[in-house]
Structures are given as C-alpha cells and as structure tokens.
Amino acid sequence: MQAYKLAEQALVGKRNADTVALAMYFVPQPVSRKDGFRRTVNIKANPMGFATGSNLNFDLGLPKLMAKAKPVFCEAFRLEGHYESKSGYPTTVSVQSDSDGDFKVVSMQRLFPNVSQDSLQQLHGELAQQYASAIKAGIAKLEMKTPRVELRFMHPIMIQGAGAGSDEASKLFQAHWQQGWMEFKGKNIGLLGAMKTVADHNKNSVPACKPQVLTLN
C-alpha cells in the first residue's frame, strides 16, 4: 500500500497501469545471500516469499517506465539491480536520485569467485594493473576476500577527499562528475548530504510534494 501511494504521488494522483508498474519497484524485495553477495528474488513470481531488503530493486523496465510516465519523486531513492555477466560473474548496479528527478548510476560492483587461491591472486594482479588509474583516483576499489575478488566503481559523490594523485587519475576523477550531481561538485558534502538536499529541494519546489494544509475543523 505504501509503495502504491508513493507511485500515485509520483504520477500526480494518476491511478492506472503505470501506477501499478511503478509501485512494484518500490515494494521491498525478498533477498538471499550467496558468497556474501546480495541476490534479489522475483517478488512477482513468489509474493509469499516476502522479506525486506535494505535497498529497493530495479530492472531494465524502469528507465522505459520513467520515460513513458515521467514520475516526479519527492524523496531521494536508491535502487539496486542484480545480474550475471556473460562470463557468469555476479554484478550489482546501484542507482540514486539526482536533482533532475532522474536516476544515475552511483556504483557498480562485480565479484569474481574462484576456488583456486593462485587464480585469485593472478586475477587480482591483472585487475589492479588494468584499473590502476581508477584506483589511484579513488573511484575504484579492488579487494581480495578469499574465496573471491571484489571490484567496485563509485561516482565521486560517494567519495570525500578523493581524486588526488597523478594528473591522469585526477582527470578521470573530474570526468566522472559529468555523470550526475554536477551542482554538488567541489562541495564535498557526500552522498547522504546530497540526497537530503535533493529531497528538501523537491519538497519545497514541486507542487505535488508540498505538505498539504489541513483545516482546523
């Protein structure tokens, strides 16, 4: 019910198939963990297997629905999408609300599980070399947590005090600001501060988001 009300508000009071479709993205998703990695269960296929995850869920249908229905969200939201790469590696993409009302990619994470310690060490070395500039810039993290290697990329909005180092690394860090949240560049307020600012701005500027005036009677 809360998810439907949220979708209805985002679509300015409309009640139609788009409202139902949008609400499904804001229903807390059942999740299971395997090798320390979040995997989302399809709640439409198994609605009785309900459990609340820490993040909401999205798929490729969300951008199509956004383009069609053009919802306006009052709050700032974070959603996760899970898939396996062509090589079979579990991957998570996280998107976050931007000030223009659209969702932008804020982080990507891929796990490389393997049973061989030697293979893991070799893979870790290859990835460290391949993404050396991104790691120096602070927008990538590479960790070996036996029995897997974890590679994560982050938007600069998630990082405070990063981007120092070589010119190449600094340019890469600055270039990633073009992917969203441009008005927060250089303010170093972090993701939570930016999201609060976005939500406060929407509540004050978007008519559908302003609190309703209740009569005393």
Mean pLDDT by 10-residue block, N- to C-terminus, for the chain (217 residues)? 89 93 81 48 47 67 92 87 88 89 91 83 93 92 88 89 65 88 86 89 85 81
Report the alpha-carbon distance of residue 173 to residue 150 in Å, rounded: 20
Tokens 């302003």 map to which residue?
A: 210
Region of residue 200 (left: phi > 0; alpha: psi -120 to 50; beta: else): alpha
- At residue 52, the pLDDT reads 47
CB 97 within 8 A of CB 105: no
pTM above 0.75, yes or no: yes
- At residue 50, the pLDDT reads 44
- At residue 87, the pLDDT reads 87
Residue 154's nearest CA partner among 129, 181, 130 is 181
- Other CB atoms within a 10 A radius of the CB of residue 110 amount to 19
- At residue 37, the pLDDT reads 45
Q: Using CA atoms in the order 167, 172, 173, 176, what is the torsion angle rounded to 10 degrees?
A: 160
Give the pair of three-digit tokens for residue 8.
């209805």
